[in-house]
Amino acid sequence: GTVRLSKIIGLQEALKIILPGGAVNAKKAKKIGLVDKVIPSFESFPGQHTFWRGVTAFAKSKLWGKPTRVYTRPNKTWGDYFLNSTSIGNWMVGREAARGLDKMAKGRYPGPYFALDSTINAVSASHLDAEKLEAKYFGKLGGSSQSKALISLFKMMEGSKKFQEKCGGEGISPKKVGIVGAGVMGSQIAVLCAKKGLKVYIRDIKQQFVDKGVGLVASTFNAQVAKKRMSQEKANSKIALVTGGTGVEGFRDCDLIIEAAVELMPLKKKIFKELEKVTKPECVLATNTSSLSITELASVLENPSRCVGIHFFNPVGKMPLVEVIRCPSTSHDMVATGYRFALKLGKVPVICNDCPGFVVNRILGIYMGEAVKLAMEGCKLPFVDDALLEFGMPMGPFRLMDEVGLDVAAHVAPVLENGLGERYKSDPRYAELIKSNPQFLGKKTGAGFYKYNAKGKQGPLNSVFVRKLNNLVTSNSNASKKAIKDRCVMVMLNEACMILEENMVNCPEDLDLAMVMGTGFAPFTGGLLSYADFRGIPSIVKRMEWLEKRCGTRFKPHKTLVKMAKDGTRFFPDRPDPKKVRQIPIKECPRSKL
């Protein structure tokens, strides 16, 4: 805990573990003095009991010999002594740690601030007084809305691992995976599969494309070797799992095949027809499409029950969410296999029914559309981005569009409009602006709304593109940050209610999990619907009615919200009553300068 750890390993090392809530491996734990001995568990033959024998020998040495444990870590240098054992040194460590927290947590997560204060206090206070302060802080944090939301989020993540309950079938855990398309997405999926020990066959129309994709896999693992995160022997074994070619023979013994070709329905239909002929009947035929209809794609198969959507988010290695999409014809076992595959890769899967944009892109589409409306009304782009960053989003909507690609967002927009209606309609002048400026498509071209350097780091506004956008502005908006936050969040909430009404997800928990894992939606709120509960449904409805009068019918509160406000119900009635918990504001967080 915050009281004992700094006394054992020193203040600096203790804060490196406590503040991020991280873990250390056995080798590191031994090096910093956190553990006395590291005992290997590897056995050369069954019954060797290496770990048990090692533990027994170590325990005997402590019981029968002279204990050697040092409970106060010796300072290795005068610098260590100054920082760990003097009041001014402790103050300096605390100041720098608080600055780091202000930058990382931005005041949204009070826990690290209280942990920091408790840890530094424990260095100089008596053990009893230090434990009293620790207990006081723990009690305050435990009753906060942030704590309740994060606990609920943890439970949702744990619940997502119970595939039998989620899928209604058993399926299998795939041993060999096929990938159609050796581009960036296909190659990244192949890397994930190889990491988990799955055999992979990649197919593309030209051998040079295949070689490039397989080469990307090899370079990824070799980079791990260069960083000393993996041995060359292990890297070679992972690389050997991935093969490729232009033929379909490698697909014959696959348990699951993912199509990751370009977003053209005729091409995908052709691929699926071909795959059905050469694969075993129990092989799952999956598509990684982000917007096209799974139902339409399944219609070309003689056995449409095999068709599943498995939607990875970019970048594949970093984004934890995978949407597993079923259409009316998809069998429970095929869904279960796709779900188990996502779990095997260490992802957080969420099942949703087939609809335009599925869950995440459908809600993100309305969110980004509202941000564009704000820009067209004259709001400054950085001001809008800053407002949503303050709310708790990982990046502002315009920064997000740069990340996704302005062309990709423009391609998905009409799909959502055609399938879901006028609320997704975008200004044709904006669409033409994107189309006529192919050099400004976002991060991938080095510039979009913002400029990016060769390493992809965000720079200043792209004044050339923003000037063209400003030429389309017809008014001079004076919207406050509060109004910007509410406009962008309220349209998302209305859309979420429609998704629930249409039974696109199994339960509200799945929608919130998808939003947090797929968009980074303010985790300290527990998700979009959880946020609505904590803010208060009646308050939400009142605010939306106000926005409806000023901004249009898209803010008319969904009938679900109106009924909930009238009945006094919530999305999550089994969770603690929001009226009985409170959010800890940043001004109450010790040591913060925000």
Q: Which residues contact 357 (CB under 8 A, 6 or more apart)?
A: 290, 291, 363, 364, 365, 412, 415, 416, 419, 420
Helices within 502-536 (DSSP H only): 508-519, 528-535
From 13, 145, 187, 311, active-site residue: 311
Phi, psi of 243 (to 5 degrees): -125, 170
- Partnered with residue 307 across adjacent β-strands are 285
State the CB neighbour count (10 A cutoff) for residue 264.
Answer: 11
Q: What are 538's two structure tokens?
A: 């009646």
Distance CA 20, CA 521 (A): 19
Q: Which residues contact 431 (CB under 8 A, 6 or more apart)?
A: 410, 413
From 84, 145, 187, 290, active-site residue: 290
Q: CA-based angle 211:212:214, to the nearest 5?
A: 65
Distance CA 440, CA 447 (A): 5
Residue 127 falls in the annotated catalytic set: no
Helices within 198-289 (DSSP H only): 207-226, 232-239, 265-278
Distances (CA, A) of 143 to 115, 139, 426, 533: 15, 7, 43, 16
From 331, 361, 426, 462, active-site residue: 361
From 13, 134, 323, 403, active-site residue: 323
Q: Is the dihedral of CA 149, 533, 157, 487 positive or negative?
A: negative
Task: Find tokens 């100089």 and name the residue.
Answer: 124
Task: Find tokens 């031994």 and name the residue.
Answer: 30
Distance CA 170, CA 32 (A): 45
Residue 311 falls in the annotated catalytic set: yes
Helix 428-435 / helix 406-420 crossing angle, nearest 10 deg: 150
Q: What are 84's two structure tokens?
A: 């760990």
Q: Which residues contact 171 (CB under 8 A, 6 or more apart)?
A: 163, 332, 333, 334, 335, 336, 337, 338, 339, 340
Query: Under DSSP, is residue 317 helix (H, G, I), strand (E, B) or coil?
Result: coil
Residue 288 falls in the annotated catalytic set: no
Pick from 21, 20, 32, 22: nearest CA to 100: 20
Query: Exposed, middle or buried: residue 438 (CB in 10 Å: 0-12, 13-18, 19+)?
Result: exposed
Phi, psi of 86 (to 5 degrees): -125, 150
Q: What are 187's two structure tokens?
A: 């190659």
Distances (CA, A) of 396 to 217, 381, 385, 576: 31, 9, 4, 30
Residue type, 579: K
Q: What are 528's two structure tokens?
A: 């979009």
The length of the chain, given as a count of residues: 594
Q: Which residues contact 58 (CB under 8 A, 6 or more apart)?
A: 36, 37, 39
State the CB neighbour count (10 A cutoff) for residue 497.
Answer: 22
Residue 323 falls in the annotated catalytic set: yes
Q: Are 556 and 550 in contact (CB under 8 A)?
A: no
Distance CA 117, CA 113 (A): 6
Catalytic machinery residues: 290, 311, 323, 361
